[in-house]
Amino acid sequence: MFQEIVNKEKKIAVVGLGYVGLPLALLFARKYRVVGFDINARRVEMLRRSEDPSRELDPESFENADIEFTSDIEVLRTASFYIVAVPTPVDEHKVPDLKPILGASNTIGKVLKKGDYVIYESTVYPGCTEEDCLPILETTSGLHVGTDFRIGYSPERINPGDKSNTIDNILKIVSGSDTEALQEISAVYGSVIRAGVYEAPSIKVAEAAKVIENSQRDLNISFMNELSIIFDRMGIQTREVIEAAATKWNFLKFYPGLVGGHCIGVDPYYLLHKSHELGYDPQVILSGRRVNDQMPEFIAKKLVQILIAKDKNPGNCKVLIMGITFKENVSDIRNSKVVDLYEELKAYSMQVDIADYMADAEEVEEEYGLHLRTEPGSGYDAIVVAVAHKRYREMGLSELTDMMKDHPILMDLKGIFSRQDHHLLHYWSL
Protein backbone atom coordinates (compact mmCIF):
# COMPACT_ATOMS: atom_id res chain seq x y z
CA MET A 1 0.00 0.00 0.00
CA PHE A 2 2.67 2.52 1.06
CA GLN A 3 4.73 2.16 -2.09
CA GLU A 4 1.63 2.56 -4.27
CA ILE A 5 0.79 5.76 -2.41
CA VAL A 6 4.37 7.00 -2.89
CA ASN A 7 4.15 6.21 -6.61
CA LYS A 8 0.79 8.06 -6.68
CA GLU A 9 -0.95 4.97 -7.97
CA LYS A 10 -3.33 5.11 -4.99
CA LYS A 11 -4.90 8.00 -3.11
CA ILE A 12 -5.33 8.85 0.55
CA ALA A 13 -8.79 10.02 1.62
CA VAL A 14 -9.44 12.03 4.78
CA VAL A 15 -13.07 11.85 5.88
CA GLY A 16 -14.01 14.83 8.04
CA LEU A 17 -12.29 18.16 7.37
CA GLY A 18 -12.46 19.98 10.68
CA TYR A 19 -9.71 20.88 13.12
CA VAL A 20 -8.22 17.40 12.89
CA GLY A 21 -8.87 16.27 9.34
CA LEU A 22 -7.97 19.38 7.36
CA PRO A 23 -4.38 19.87 8.62
CA LEU A 24 -3.76 16.15 8.18
CA ALA A 25 -5.18 16.12 4.64
CA LEU A 26 -3.06 19.11 3.62
CA LEU A 27 0.05 17.56 5.19
CA PHE A 28 -0.38 14.39 3.13
CA ALA A 29 -1.28 16.42 0.04
CA ARG A 30 2.18 18.01 -0.02
CA LYS A 31 3.57 14.60 -1.02
CA TYR A 32 0.69 12.41 -2.17
CA ARG A 33 -2.64 12.45 -4.00
CA VAL A 34 -5.43 13.17 -1.52
CA VAL A 35 -9.21 13.29 -1.45
CA GLY A 36 -10.63 15.56 1.24
CA PHE A 37 -14.19 14.43 1.98
CA ASP A 38 -16.81 16.14 4.12
CA ILE A 39 -20.60 15.84 4.16
CA ASN A 40 -20.88 19.61 4.74
CA ALA A 41 -21.12 21.03 1.22
CA ARG A 42 -20.67 24.63 2.49
CA ARG A 43 -17.41 23.66 4.17
CA VAL A 44 -16.21 21.94 0.99
CA GLU A 45 -16.90 25.05 -1.09
CA MET A 46 -14.92 27.21 1.33
CA LEU A 47 -12.00 24.77 1.23
CA ARG A 48 -12.00 24.85 -2.56
CA ARG A 49 -11.44 28.61 -2.22
CA SER A 50 -8.54 27.94 0.20
CA GLU A 51 -10.59 29.20 3.13
CA ASP A 52 -10.42 27.32 6.42
CA PRO A 53 -13.82 27.54 8.16
CA SER A 54 -12.05 27.08 11.50
CA ARG A 55 -9.68 29.96 10.73
CA GLU A 56 -6.73 27.92 11.89
CA LEU A 57 -4.96 27.82 8.52
CA ASP A 58 -4.17 30.67 6.16
CA PRO A 59 -4.60 30.45 2.35
CA GLU A 60 -0.87 29.73 1.93
CA SER A 61 -1.40 26.39 3.71
CA PHE A 62 -3.39 25.21 0.69
CA GLU A 63 -0.66 26.01 -1.84
CA ASN A 64 1.06 23.13 -3.65
CA ALA A 65 -1.42 20.66 -2.19
CA ASP A 66 -2.50 17.79 -4.45
CA ILE A 67 -5.96 17.54 -2.97
CA GLU A 68 -9.53 17.34 -4.26
CA PHE A 69 -12.15 18.59 -1.82
CA THR A 70 -15.52 16.90 -2.25
CA SER A 71 -18.81 15.80 -0.71
CA ASP A 72 -19.38 13.34 -3.57
CA ILE A 73 -19.13 9.69 -2.55
CA GLU A 74 -18.11 8.73 -6.09
CA VAL A 75 -14.95 10.83 -5.75
CA LEU A 76 -14.34 9.18 -2.38
CA ARG A 77 -14.44 5.83 -4.17
CA THR A 78 -11.22 6.66 -6.01
CA ALA A 79 -9.18 6.42 -2.79
CA SER A 80 -7.68 3.33 -1.16
CA PHE A 81 -6.29 4.53 2.19
CA TYR A 82 -9.16 6.02 4.23
CA ILE A 83 -8.56 8.12 7.35
CA VAL A 84 -11.60 8.93 9.54
CA ALA A 85 -11.34 12.22 11.43
CA VAL A 86 -14.93 13.04 12.34
CA PRO A 87 -16.07 14.41 15.73
CA THR A 88 -16.96 12.09 18.59
CA PRO A 89 -19.08 14.19 20.96
CA VAL A 90 -21.34 13.28 23.87
CA ASP A 91 -25.10 13.87 23.99
CA GLU A 92 -27.06 15.91 26.53
CA HIS A 93 -26.89 12.96 28.95
CA LYS A 94 -23.05 12.77 28.70
CA VAL A 95 -23.32 9.53 26.73
CA PRO A 96 -20.95 8.99 23.75
CA ASP A 97 -22.59 10.00 20.49
CA LEU A 98 -21.18 7.63 17.89
CA LYS A 99 -23.45 8.72 15.05
CA PRO A 100 -20.73 10.70 13.19
CA ILE A 101 -18.14 7.93 13.30
CA LEU A 102 -20.64 5.16 12.55
CA GLY A 103 -22.03 7.24 9.69
CA ALA A 104 -18.53 7.71 8.30
CA SER A 105 -17.95 3.95 8.59
CA ASN A 106 -21.13 3.29 6.63
CA THR A 107 -20.08 5.76 3.91
CA ILE A 108 -16.64 4.19 3.58
CA GLY A 109 -18.19 0.73 3.57
CA LYS A 110 -20.09 1.67 0.41
CA VAL A 111 -16.86 2.40 -1.47
CA LEU A 112 -14.48 -0.08 0.19
CA LYS A 113 -12.49 -2.33 -2.16
CA LYS A 114 -10.22 -5.32 -1.73
CA GLY A 115 -6.79 -4.22 -0.58
CA ASP A 116 -8.02 -0.96 0.99
CA TYR A 117 -7.09 0.40 4.41
CA VAL A 118 -9.30 2.23 6.93
CA ILE A 119 -7.66 4.15 9.79
CA TYR A 120 -9.60 5.89 12.54
CA GLU A 121 -8.29 9.05 14.25
CA SER A 122 -11.40 10.10 16.18
CA THR A 123 -11.20 9.74 19.97
CA VAL A 124 -13.18 6.71 21.12
CA TYR A 125 -13.31 4.26 24.01
CA PRO A 126 -11.08 1.17 23.80
CA GLY A 127 -12.74 -1.41 21.58
CA CYS A 128 -14.88 0.99 19.53
CA THR A 129 -12.91 0.57 16.29
CA GLU A 130 -13.15 -3.21 16.24
CA GLU A 131 -16.46 -3.70 18.06
CA ASP A 132 -18.58 -0.85 16.65
CA CYS A 133 -16.99 0.47 13.45
CA LEU A 134 -15.56 -2.71 11.90
CA PRO A 135 -18.90 -4.62 11.74
CA ILE A 136 -20.39 -1.70 9.76
CA LEU A 137 -17.47 -1.73 7.32
CA GLU A 138 -17.83 -5.48 6.80
CA THR A 139 -21.64 -5.52 6.55
CA THR A 140 -21.85 -2.56 4.17
CA SER A 141 -18.97 -3.62 1.92
CA GLY A 142 -19.49 -7.38 2.03
CA LEU A 143 -15.76 -7.68 2.65
CA HIS A 144 -13.85 -9.17 5.57
CA VAL A 145 -11.03 -7.62 7.57
CA GLY A 146 -7.69 -9.38 7.26
CA THR A 147 -8.47 -11.18 4.01
CA ASP A 148 -10.01 -8.32 1.99
CA PHE A 149 -9.02 -5.10 3.76
CA ARG A 150 -7.20 -3.87 6.86
CA ILE A 151 -7.94 -1.37 9.59
CA GLY A 152 -5.96 0.66 12.09
CA TYR A 153 -6.19 3.36 14.69
CA SER A 154 -3.98 6.43 15.01
CA PRO A 155 -5.29 8.94 17.54
CA GLU A 156 -5.19 12.63 16.67
CA ARG A 157 -3.03 14.84 18.84
CA ILE A 158 -3.71 18.22 17.29
CA ASN A 159 -3.74 21.17 19.67
CA PRO A 160 -5.88 23.94 18.10
CA GLY A 161 -4.33 27.39 18.30
CA ASP A 162 -0.85 26.00 18.96
CA LYS A 163 1.57 27.23 16.29
CA SER A 164 4.58 25.45 17.83
CA ASN A 165 3.33 21.91 18.41
CA THR A 166 2.00 21.39 14.89
CA ILE A 167 0.70 18.12 13.49
CA ASP A 168 4.05 17.03 12.05
CA ASN A 169 5.95 17.91 15.23
CA ILE A 170 3.97 15.61 17.52
CA LEU A 171 4.88 11.92 17.86
CA LYS A 172 2.14 9.85 16.20
CA ILE A 173 0.75 6.67 17.75
CA VAL A 174 -0.17 4.06 15.13
CA SER A 175 -1.73 0.62 15.33
CA GLY A 176 -3.07 -1.99 12.94
CA SER A 177 -5.31 -5.05 12.75
CA ASP A 178 -2.28 -7.26 11.99
CA THR A 179 1.49 -7.01 11.56
CA GLU A 180 1.34 -6.07 7.89
CA ALA A 181 -1.30 -3.43 8.55
CA LEU A 182 0.83 -1.90 11.30
CA GLN A 183 3.89 -1.78 9.05
CA GLU A 184 2.06 -0.14 6.16
CA ILE A 185 0.18 2.36 8.34
CA SER A 186 3.39 3.21 10.19
CA ALA A 187 5.19 3.80 6.88
CA VAL A 188 2.46 6.09 5.52
CA TYR A 189 2.30 8.29 8.64
CA GLY A 190 6.05 8.13 9.24
CA SER A 191 6.70 9.60 5.82
CA VAL A 192 5.07 12.92 6.77
CA ILE A 193 5.35 13.12 10.58
CA ARG A 194 8.79 14.58 11.35
CA ALA A 195 8.52 13.66 15.03
CA GLY A 196 8.18 9.99 14.07
CA VAL A 197 5.69 7.28 15.01
CA TYR A 198 5.12 5.01 17.98
CA GLU A 199 3.82 1.56 17.09
CA ALA A 200 1.27 0.44 19.66
CA PRO A 201 0.91 -3.34 20.13
CA SER A 202 -2.84 -3.30 19.42
CA ILE A 203 -5.70 -1.07 18.32
CA LYS A 204 -7.22 -1.14 21.81
CA VAL A 205 -3.96 0.03 23.38
CA ALA A 206 -3.81 2.97 20.95
CA GLU A 207 -7.45 3.86 21.67
CA ALA A 208 -6.85 3.68 25.42
CA ALA A 209 -3.69 5.79 25.20
CA LYS A 210 -5.59 8.61 23.55
CA VAL A 211 -8.58 8.61 25.87
CA ILE A 212 -6.42 8.67 29.02
CA GLU A 213 -4.30 11.59 27.75
CA ASN A 214 -7.22 13.95 28.08
CA SER A 215 -8.70 12.17 31.10
CA GLN A 216 -5.46 12.70 32.96
CA ARG A 217 -5.46 16.41 32.11
CA ASP A 218 -9.12 16.64 33.13
CA LEU A 219 -8.30 15.19 36.55
CA ASN A 220 -5.32 17.47 37.08
CA ILE A 221 -7.42 20.54 36.31
CA SER A 222 -10.28 19.30 38.50
CA PHE A 223 -7.86 19.10 41.43
CA MET A 224 -6.90 22.73 40.88
CA ASN A 225 -10.55 23.72 40.50
CA GLU A 226 -11.37 22.07 43.80
CA LEU A 227 -8.42 23.82 45.41
CA SER A 228 -9.64 27.15 44.02
CA ILE A 229 -13.00 26.63 45.77
CA ILE A 230 -11.21 25.86 49.04
CA PHE A 231 -8.69 28.69 48.75
CA ASP A 232 -11.43 31.17 47.89
CA ARG A 233 -12.97 30.49 51.28
CA MET A 234 -9.56 31.08 52.83
CA GLY A 235 -9.15 34.40 51.05
CA ILE A 236 -5.97 33.42 49.18
CA GLN A 237 -5.21 33.38 45.45
CA THR A 238 -4.95 29.91 43.93
CA ARG A 239 -2.48 31.05 41.28
CA GLU A 240 -0.19 32.46 43.93
CA VAL A 241 -0.30 29.12 45.74
CA ILE A 242 0.52 27.28 42.49
CA GLU A 243 3.46 29.59 41.75
CA ALA A 244 4.85 28.95 45.22
CA ALA A 245 4.35 25.18 45.01
CA ALA A 246 5.90 25.08 41.54
CA THR A 247 9.27 26.02 43.00
CA LYS A 248 9.61 22.31 43.79
CA TRP A 249 11.08 20.41 40.82
CA ASN A 250 8.40 17.68 40.63
CA PHE A 251 5.27 19.80 41.06
CA LEU A 252 2.89 19.63 38.07
CA LYS A 253 1.80 23.13 37.13
CA PHE A 254 -1.88 23.05 36.20
CA TYR A 255 -4.32 25.94 36.62
CA PRO A 256 -8.04 26.12 37.45
CA GLY A 257 -10.61 27.11 34.84
CA LEU A 258 -13.61 26.15 32.75
CA VAL A 259 -13.01 22.78 31.10
CA GLY A 260 -14.85 22.46 27.81
CA GLY A 261 -14.05 21.73 24.19
CA HIS A 262 -14.24 18.57 22.16
CA CYS A 263 -11.45 16.71 23.97
CA ILE A 264 -10.78 17.27 27.68
CA GLY A 265 -14.43 17.92 28.55
CA VAL A 266 -15.65 14.94 26.48
CA ASP A 267 -13.11 12.11 26.42
CA PRO A 268 -13.47 11.08 30.10
CA TYR A 269 -17.13 10.28 29.41
CA TYR A 270 -16.06 7.77 26.76
CA LEU A 271 -13.91 5.99 29.33
CA LEU A 272 -16.71 6.17 31.90
CA HIS A 273 -19.18 4.70 29.40
CA LYS A 274 -16.98 1.72 28.61
CA SER A 275 -16.20 1.15 32.28
CA HIS A 276 -19.91 1.03 33.12
CA GLU A 277 -20.45 -1.46 30.29
CA LEU A 278 -17.83 -3.69 31.90
CA GLY A 279 -19.48 -3.48 35.29
CA TYR A 280 -17.04 -1.10 36.97
CA ASP A 281 -18.07 2.25 38.46
CA PRO A 282 -15.04 4.59 38.23
CA GLN A 283 -14.63 6.87 41.22
CA VAL A 284 -11.71 9.16 40.46
CA ILE A 285 -12.61 9.94 36.83
CA LEU A 286 -16.25 10.65 37.71
CA SER A 287 -15.28 12.82 40.66
CA GLY A 288 -13.03 14.93 38.45
CA ARG A 289 -15.79 15.42 35.90
CA ARG A 290 -18.25 16.49 38.61
CA VAL A 291 -15.86 19.11 39.95
CA ASN A 292 -15.17 20.57 36.51
CA ASP A 293 -18.83 20.53 35.50
CA GLN A 294 -19.83 22.48 38.62
CA MET A 295 -17.41 25.37 38.04
CA PRO A 296 -19.86 27.58 36.08
CA GLU A 297 -22.30 27.35 39.01
CA PHE A 298 -19.54 28.18 41.51
CA ILE A 299 -18.39 31.23 39.50
CA ALA A 300 -21.96 32.53 39.07
CA LYS A 301 -22.67 32.23 42.81
CA LYS A 302 -19.42 33.99 43.61
CA LEU A 303 -20.37 36.91 41.38
CA VAL A 304 -23.76 37.16 43.06
CA GLN A 305 -22.05 37.28 46.47
CA ILE A 306 -19.73 40.06 45.33
CA LEU A 307 -22.58 42.08 43.81
CA ILE A 308 -24.62 41.84 47.01
CA ALA A 309 -21.59 42.85 49.06
CA LYS A 310 -21.37 45.95 46.83
CA ASP A 311 -25.03 46.75 47.57
CA LYS A 312 -26.05 45.79 44.04
CA ASN A 313 -29.18 43.80 43.21
CA PRO A 314 -28.04 40.99 40.85
CA GLY A 315 -31.39 41.12 39.05
CA ASN A 316 -30.72 44.73 38.06
CA CYS A 317 -27.13 44.18 36.98
CA LYS A 318 -25.57 44.10 33.54
CA VAL A 319 -22.69 41.66 33.02
CA LEU A 320 -20.28 41.12 30.15
CA ILE A 321 -18.65 37.76 29.45
CA MET A 322 -15.53 38.12 27.31
CA GLY A 323 -14.96 34.97 25.27
CA ILE A 324 -17.13 32.01 24.31
CA THR A 325 -14.69 29.68 22.51
CA PHE A 326 -13.55 26.65 24.46
CA LYS A 327 -9.95 27.95 24.64
CA GLU A 328 -7.88 30.98 23.74
CA ASN A 329 -7.04 32.07 20.19
CA VAL A 330 -9.34 29.61 18.42
CA SER A 331 -12.81 29.97 16.90
CA ASP A 332 -14.06 26.57 18.10
CA ILE A 333 -17.19 26.86 20.28
CA ARG A 334 -17.91 23.15 20.68
CA ASN A 335 -18.88 22.17 24.24
CA SER A 336 -18.06 25.63 25.53
CA LYS A 337 -18.55 25.86 29.29
CA VAL A 338 -18.92 29.62 28.92
CA VAL A 339 -22.45 28.88 27.73
CA ASP A 340 -23.12 27.08 31.02
CA LEU A 341 -21.83 30.13 32.89
CA TYR A 342 -24.12 32.36 30.81
CA GLU A 343 -27.14 30.21 31.75
CA GLU A 344 -26.18 30.29 35.43
CA LEU A 345 -25.96 34.09 35.41
CA LYS A 346 -29.26 34.41 33.53
CA ALA A 347 -30.90 32.29 36.22
CA TYR A 348 -30.26 35.22 38.58
CA SER A 349 -32.12 37.53 36.16
CA MET A 350 -28.96 39.35 35.14
CA GLN A 351 -28.65 41.06 31.77
CA VAL A 352 -25.74 39.19 30.18
CA ASP A 353 -23.78 40.08 27.04
CA ILE A 354 -21.23 37.75 25.45
CA ALA A 355 -18.48 39.21 23.25
CA ASP A 356 -15.89 37.25 21.29
CA TYR A 357 -14.05 38.53 18.23
CA MET A 358 -12.73 35.04 17.45
CA ALA A 359 -16.08 33.21 17.29
CA ASP A 360 -18.56 33.17 14.43
CA ALA A 361 -21.80 34.90 15.46
CA GLU A 362 -23.95 32.80 13.11
CA GLU A 363 -22.43 29.59 14.44
CA VAL A 364 -23.08 30.68 18.05
CA GLU A 365 -26.67 31.53 17.16
CA GLU A 366 -27.17 28.18 15.43
CA GLU A 367 -25.46 26.09 18.10
CA TYR A 368 -26.66 27.79 21.29
CA GLY A 369 -29.38 30.25 20.31
CA LEU A 370 -27.32 33.12 21.72
CA HIS A 371 -26.64 36.57 20.31
CA LEU A 372 -22.91 37.20 20.17
CA ARG A 373 -21.37 40.65 20.25
CA THR A 374 -18.20 41.04 18.23
CA GLU A 375 -17.24 43.98 20.44
CA PRO A 376 -18.19 44.75 24.08
CA GLY A 377 -20.78 47.39 24.96
CA SER A 378 -20.69 49.64 28.02
CA GLY A 379 -22.37 50.29 31.37
CA TYR A 380 -21.51 46.93 32.88
CA ASP A 381 -21.60 46.22 36.60
CA ALA A 382 -19.20 43.32 36.15
CA ILE A 383 -16.99 41.81 33.49
CA VAL A 384 -16.07 38.13 33.39
CA VAL A 385 -12.95 37.43 31.32
CA ALA A 386 -13.54 33.78 30.48
CA VAL A 387 -11.11 33.18 27.60
CA ALA A 388 -7.53 34.42 27.36
CA HIS A 389 -7.57 35.58 23.73
CA LYS A 390 -4.50 37.54 22.61
CA ARG A 391 -6.42 40.80 22.29
CA TYR A 392 -7.79 40.45 25.82
CA ARG A 393 -4.31 39.77 27.21
CA GLU A 394 -3.11 43.01 25.67
CA MET A 395 -5.83 45.09 27.32
CA GLY A 396 -5.22 47.19 30.39
CA LEU A 397 -7.50 47.47 33.41
CA SER A 398 -8.39 51.03 32.44
CA GLU A 399 -9.92 49.74 29.18
CA LEU A 400 -12.12 47.40 31.18
CA THR A 401 -13.16 49.97 33.77
CA ASP A 402 -14.15 52.36 30.96
CA MET A 403 -16.82 49.82 30.03
CA MET A 404 -18.13 49.58 33.60
CA LYS A 405 -20.24 51.56 36.05
CA ASP A 406 -19.14 52.74 39.50
CA HIS A 407 -17.75 50.08 41.83
CA PRO A 408 -16.73 47.80 38.92
CA ILE A 409 -16.11 44.10 39.39
CA LEU A 410 -13.68 42.04 37.33
CA MET A 411 -13.77 38.24 37.40
CA ASP A 412 -10.57 37.10 35.74
CA LEU A 413 -10.98 33.36 35.22
CA LYS A 414 -7.62 32.95 33.44
CA GLY A 415 -5.53 35.16 35.71
CA ILE A 416 -4.64 37.54 32.86
CA PHE A 417 -4.67 40.64 35.08
CA SER A 418 -3.45 39.04 38.29
CA ARG A 419 -0.22 41.06 38.43
CA GLN A 420 -1.75 44.46 37.64
CA ASP A 421 -2.80 47.21 40.05
CA HIS A 422 -6.39 46.47 41.10
CA HIS A 423 -7.18 49.72 42.91
CA LEU A 424 -9.57 50.71 40.10
CA LEU A 425 -11.95 47.80 40.71
CA HIS A 426 -12.88 44.74 42.73
CA TYR A 427 -10.73 41.93 41.39
CA TRP A 428 -11.44 38.19 41.70
CA SER A 429 -9.77 35.23 40.05
CA LEU A 430 -9.95 31.46 40.21
Interval 101-117: pLDDT, tens: 999 999 999 999 999 99
Average pLDDT of the residues in 272-284:
92
pLDDT band, residue 418 (cuts 50/70/90): confident
Q: What is the pTM of this model?
A: 0.89
CATH number, span 216-429 = 3.40.50.720
Percent of the chain with pLDDT over 90: 79
Query: What residue ranges in 197-350 does DSSP mark as E strands?
Result: 197-199, 318-322
More confident residue, 92 or 390: 390
Average pLDDT of the residues in 371-387:
92
Distance CA 346, CA 319 (A): 10
Largest CA distance in the chain: 74
- For the chain, what are the domain ranges? 2-201, 216-429
Nearest to 24 by CA among 120, 88, 99: 120
Active site residues: 263
CB of 225 within 8 A of CB of 291?
yes
Q: Which burial class, exposed, middle or buried, applies to 199 when counting CB atoms under 10 A from its CB (0-12, 13-18, 19+)?
A: middle
Tell me which fold the domain 2-201 belongs to.
Rossmann fold (3.40.50)
216-429: same fold as 2-201? yes
Query: What residue type is assigned to position 125 of the chain?
Result: Y
| Whole-number average pLDDT of the chain | 93
Identify the bridge partners of residue 373 per DSSP, sorted by sequence position: 355
Instruction: Please report how many Cα atoms fall inside a 13 Å half-sphere around the Cα of residue 106, on the Cβ side.
Output: 7
Percent of the chain with pLDDT over 70: 99
CB of 103 within 8 A of CB of 33?
no
Q: Which burial class, exposed, middle or buried, applies to 424 when counting CB atoms under 10 A from its CB (0-12, 13-18, 19+)?
A: middle
Instruction: Please report how many Cα atoms fall inside a 13 Å half-sphere around the Cα of residue 212, on the Cβ side.
Output: 9
Interval 120-138: pLDDT, tens: 999 899 999 999 999 999 9
The alpha carbon of residue 87 and the mean position of all alpha carbons in its chain are separated, in whole angstroms, by 9
Cβ within 8 Å of residue 71, ≥6 positions away: 37, 38, 39, 40, 41, 44
